Amino acid sequence: MENIKVMVVEDENIVALDIKNKLKSLGFTVLPVISSGEEAIEKAYECKPDLILMDIMLKGEIDGIDAAKKILEILKIPIIYLTANTNMEILERAKQIENCSYIIKPFHEKELENNIKMLLN
């Protein structure tokens, strides 16, 4: 899994650091953390990660769902939404996008690993 590049889009530094450490312990290559939807779109096109972990609620004008839509218009990168928000309307909006899944925060390393393996296979 060390050849798999993962981009983390998370605007809370402590959460981002925790996710980054979990990914590294699982053997993934972690790209620099992104904190806004706009930057996520730009960096996804630039870095072409193998997988994106995307918080739904982000700083900036574009949330994680809209950023994922724009990224997936051109790049077919699997995306896992990370959210503490269990609002059904938001989760339904997230589910409508193909090639994506979601994990409710807080999550365990094993849950993250299983979701990643499922999406990449």
**Tens-place pLDDT, residues 17-60:** 999 999 999 999 999 999 999 999 999 999 999 999 999 999 88
Residue 112 CA to residue 23 CA, distance in Å, equals: 8
Q: Which residue has the tokens 């051109």?
A: 74
Q: Where are the domains of the chain?
A: 5-120
Identify the pLDDT of residue 94: 66
Residue 90 CA to residue 109 CA, distance in Å, equals: 24
Is the confidence at residue 97, as pLDDT, over 90?
no
How far is the first Cα of the chain from the last one, in angstroms, to the nearest whole number? 12
Is the confidence at residue 10, as pLDDT, over 90?
yes
The architecture of the domain spanning 5-120 is: 3-Layer(aba) Sandwich (3.40)
Confidence category of residue 119, pLDDT binned at 50, 70, 90 = confident
pTM: 0.90
